Amino acid sequence: MAARDSKSNIPEFESIDINTKPFHIDSFRAEWLKRLHPAQYSYEQPDEDEFDVHFAQEMGLDAGTMSELTSVCSTDSLLCHPKDEQPDTDLVPEDATLITLIQRKKKQDRKLTQKCPKNRHEHYADELERVTIERKPEAAENLVPEGDVLLTINVYYPAVFDKFNYTRPHMTLLMTGSHTLAELRDAICCVSDLQVCGEFSNNPDIVPDFVSKDHYKSAFFYFEGVFYNDMRFPECRDLSITTIEWAKSRNFPPFTQANMEDTRLVDLKVKVGFPYLYCHQGDCEHLVIITDVRLMHRNDCLDKKTYPLLIHKDRIDTHKCSVCHVYIGRWHTSNDQFAPSDPCLFCDKCFRMLHYDTQGNKLGNFLAYPYIDRGAFN
Amino acid sequence: MNHHRKLVKADCDQLLNRFQQTESVRFEAFSQIWRDMKFEQIFYGAAKHNNRLFTRLVLDTAYEFLLPPFTFQIRVGGLYLLYALFHSQTANPLEKIRLALKDWEEIQKFETDSLEAQHYDVVYILKKLLHIKAFVFTAMPRLLAFDRKKKSQMSPVCESFMERPSAPQTLINNNLLEELSNVHGLYENLKSSVCPQSDSSLSLSHPDLVQTLRETVLDFYKWQKDKFQSSESSRDEDSGEGPSTQQESSRRADLLASIKSRAYEQAAQASKSRRHRAVEVDVTKPEQSSTPSARYERIKQKTLRYRATKNIQVSGDMWKDALSHTRITCLTARDNEKPPRCFKKFKWKTEDT
């Protein structure tokens, strides 16, 4: 029945405040568009006077009642302070009565006694937000169409990390519905993609340019029983086939496959708030959670070219060189007779100064591997 | 951010409590309380990087009051609260109110109810918010990130805000009673046509079933009304200011009319679905959390570290070194260098009154 179908496209909680039941994103979008007037989701600037006139006509109110209504319900009646005496909104007022403010005042007083300067990462984050919010594209074809869907996707740290595995998202991305999963994959940066394999103590200058990302191009996403493989390049292999065959032999419900580059985000049937999987490099697995699905709004970034848009990136402490404690470690040595510990990290300069003479000859015994720090993407 | 949730909820509860006591649905009454409590200050002093998150939290908390199962007056208060908070926020560009698809029908019904009762300010504000694009149309009211541990954060809802349960009225509505009486009549006719004498062993149904049902439901409704009104009248004595008696009685009539009309429709489906949902959560909870909770609820043995530090006594510097982590930066540091300063985190302790 049509009524029953439309009901299943309205997202409902499967577990309250945790995740929803699976629903098809394009149908969800259609449901909203069915209920709304195009003016309600268009990008046009709303006109307030026109609204008042229209309202009076619709309700059949005379001018006197209408003017009384507008004056009573205007936002001026909500002002707690006279217009010319607006207080400083950065400080908690002295005579606050709200419970939230009492707590906040305590923190503010505490903060004044300690000096906590803002670090550069927060500056970068603010700058990023300032640039992208409300951005309109120059060319009309780059405009995200009205009524398109915006998804907020959290990508978590790989399973092999020891800290913050499932609690802190490593990055939060915004994507429009018309993007493909392949574009999502390209936007996810993982440290394991940059690893260079091999021992280079004898020839530290010839560290190869190509990284793991170029060697092992295969990846897949798993959403609701379907594996989406990356098949764009001839080297890509289907990583999911192992799991599918294993599942078949053990009476699991059957899984299906599809191509990442052919699937747009609106074609997915997913649960909001439920963890799914992104696997690349064969064994580097990340949890992926779609935290929000909504219609575009005129205040969002409307330029298609900026998507996938990174809105939050988690910062993780980097390990510095054991010698200078200033630069991030780039070489990882073991069996090293010069190092205080095994293994040991060095930055490039300290590494060369300690292990090689001025002609570039290797001194002593050691094994050296190029090291990519976890916080390389900070 | 979560320590703020309870505080914000407490503030909103206080505001809506005062609004409920005025027994009015007029925006003037609301804005009077808003100005009195200086509620717009709730945004002041928020740390810059937390400002958007805090505004999001405040709007989400206020949004809950707009939906059933709250009473009509509380829902109107919730709408006014959203309007006021939306316009007083300090985030730039403005943080929007999230409207979930599943709540759209409720909001439409709310609008039609207000229109029928001629509460023009309610309709004006709702339409105005839609017009200035204060809403963003989402799948779910809050961002969901599979936070299973944070279940205990649902703060208790004020009982006096809740809609009176009207399950008996929904179940035994007029249509059902009519059908029942028809079926009953047919049954009696059939029975009398099959066996002419009224055999006591064949009287398996109540002769006055329909009548009894109807009377029971009406009794329940009257009892509920009396209970509700007696608590209202006790509050009447306390409240000093209030609208004129004529306005009050017409407003009360509106309230009761809207409640009654919705009692005989599908308003209580919210409570039904809540019950149904509550059952669902209970069913899935043991499956989802059986393994972790079984592990956590075992008797916690003291950690090895605790037992070791308690039992082993080593004297002097070696003990200090053994207790602290070996910092790789200190391996090559000079002896008289101080370890780096650590900033103590601010504890958001709330005193429970």
pLDDT of B277: 41
pLDDT surpassing 50 at residue A180: yes
Any CB–CB contact under 8 A between A23 and chain B? yes
- d(Cα A275, Cα B146) in Å, to the nearest integer? 7
Cβ of A273 and B100 within 8 Å? no
- d(Cα B309, Cα A377) in Å, to the nearest integer? 39
Q: Which of A43, A86, A292 to mutate to test the interface with B (most CBs of B within 10 A)?
A: A292
Mean pLDDT of A37-55: 83
A278 within 8 A of A286, measured Cβ to Cβ: yes
**More reliable by pLDDT, B343 or A218:** A218
**pLDDT digit string, tens, across residues A342-358:** 888 888 888 888 888 88
Enclosing H/E stretch for A346: strand A344-346
Scanning A87-146 for CB atoms below 8 A from B yields 87-93, 96-101, 103-105, 107-108, 110-111, 114, 116, 122, 125-126, 133-134
Under 8 Å CB pairs connecting chains A and B tally to: 206
Sequence letter at residue A180: T
Residues in chain B within 8 Å Cβ distance of A51: 127-128, 131
To the nearest whole angstrom, how far is the Cα of A232 from the nearest Cα of chain B?
31
Note every long-range contact of A79-86, with CB atoms under 8 Å and residues 24 or more positions apart, other chains counting: A79/B35, A79/B40, A80/B34, A80/B35, A80/B38, A80/B39, A80/B40, A80/B41
Residues in chain A within 8 Å Cβ distance of B139: 11, 20, 23, 28, 272, 292-294
Residue of A nearest to B128 (CA): A51
Residue of A nearest to B5 (CA): A100
Percent of chain A with pLDDT over 70: 85
**pLDDT digit string, tens, across residues B277-306:** 433 333 333 334 344 444 555 667 778 888
Cβ of A40 and B288 within 8 Å? no
Q: How far are the Cα atoms of A250, A292, B7, B159, B197 from residue B4, in angstroms, in the given order? A: 48, 22, 5, 22, 74
**pLDDT digit string, tens, across residues A63-119:** 888 888 888 888 777 777 766 666 666 777 777 777 777 877 777 777 776 666 666
Mean pLDDT of A260-285: 88
pTM of the full structure: 0.73
To the nearest whole angstrom, how far is the Cα of A26 from the nearest Cα of chain B?
12
- Token output for B160: 């006096």
Query: pLDDT means per 10 residues in chain B (353 residues)?
Result: 80 88 87 86 77 87 87 90 89 86 90 89 89 89 78 61 68 79 86 74 74 84 77 47 45 61 46 41 38 54 79 68 62 59 58 40
- d(Cα A156, Cα A163) in Å, to the nearest integer? 11
- Token output for B287: 């499956």
Cβ of B42 and A100 within 8 Å? yes
Scanning B237-296 for CB atoms below 8 A from A yields 277, 280-281, 284, 288
